[in-house]
Amino acid sequence: MSQSYDNDNVFAKILRGEIPAIKLFEDDHTLAIMDIMPRGDGHCLIIPKAPSRNILDIDLEDLQHVVATVQRLGRAVVKAFEADGLTISQFSEPAGGQVIFHTHFHVLPRFEGVELKPHSGDMADQAVLQEQAVKIKAALGGA
């Protein structure tokens, strides 16, 4: 890996409050938000607050905090959407499918017989995302 961290990536801007996001959960080390181009209902993203490009350069302690939040959100989305399962994904570097170069994990509730939508680049209806966020936040209360 020869690339360095870009402080102007979209997640860095969200963390600085320069770009809005639908927040689901936040602690001292992580932020969970709705994915604005979801591949399914309840698709959310977990990002570390500390800068890192991806799993290849993230500090181990930061990664541990992120994974704890991934688990917390995973439990919440399964509960909120009565999902049959869960997909967790993390892409590193262009060859691995990474598009935004700030470490992030995708958390997607899954349902028997239902395929994920293809990544189209189309933004979801914000009202729908807000409704889904309310469900996830309610489930976090007992997650």
CA distances from 8 to 47, 51, 54, 63, 94 (A): 15, 11, 15, 21, 17
| Amino acid symbol at 70 | V
Catalytic, out of 29, 104, 106, 119: 104
Residue 89 · residue 105 · CB < 8 Å:
yes
- Is position 43 annotated as part of the catalytic site? no
Reading the block at residue 115, the tokens are 């395929």
Residues belonging to the active site: 104
